[in-house]
Amino acid sequence: MYIIEQHIINNDIVSSLEHILDECVETNNKLIAYNSTCTKGGIQTENLCGYKNVNELINKILNDIRHSELKIKHVHMISYDTGGSQEIHDHKNTESYSFILYLSTCDTGGETVFVDDEKNETKILPEKGNLLFFDSRLMHYAKSTKDKKKVVVVALV
């Protein structure tokens, strides 16, 4: 059985991460990739470890959710346009744990869906400031957004 922890993250941290993504987009930063292999209908950054104060912010999050012993391996942001989605995948080959931090709220669509070994699904609607911390072996995907853009930070630890 896999555990999905949910945490509410401080608004200052959420705002700081939003500004980093905005800066990458506004400056047409080379860190931005359109429609990655798994993400459809949006942009995804490359690894942001070491970019500005990203590591500091992610370490603060890990400390706040009582996982400060973990080390950051990879951090990226995804901004899904309306209709954007992500295919089913896991992160088991690259790290032990992952988290998804929502930087926007979607009223309909855009759910993150976790699928366990028995094919049971857990659906979580994006809510700004909500963080999902989970075992990287857990399969998951993002349903198409319906009403607005969905923005997330993904960290692999």
What tens digit of pLDDT does each residue of 5-37 get? 999 999 999 999 999 888 877 776 666 665 556
The two structure tokens encoding residue 96: 């032990």
Q: What phi and psi values does residue 25 have, to the nearest 5 degrees?
A: -70, -45
Q: Is residue 36 classed as helix, strand or coil in its secondary structure?
A: coil
pTM, to two decimals: 0.92
Q: Could you tell me the residue ranges of all domains in the chain?
A: 4-156
Look at 20-29, 74-83, 90-99, 104-113 and tell me which has the smallest mean pLDDT. 20-29
Q: Report H helices in 41-133.
A: 54-64
pLDDT tops 70 at residue 139: yes
Which one is the CATH code of 4-156: 2.60.120.20, 1.20.140.10, 2.60.120.620, 3.40.50.300?
2.60.120.620
Q: What is the pLDDT of residue 132?
A: 97
Q: What is the pLDDT of residue 24?
A: 77
The two structure tokens encoding residue 49: 């470890």
| Residues in Cβ contact with 3 at an 8 Å cutoff, skipping those fewer than 6 apart | 134, 135
Average pLDDT over residues 36-45: 77
| Residues in Cβ contact with 11 at an 8 Å cutoff, skipping those fewer than 6 apart | 129
Q: What phi and psi values does residue 95 have, to the nearest 5 degrees?
A: -165, 175
Q: What is the pLDDT of residue 34?
A: 56
Look at 4-13, 48-57, 114-123 and tell me which has the smallest mean pLDDT. 48-57
The two structure tokens encoding residue 51: 């970019």
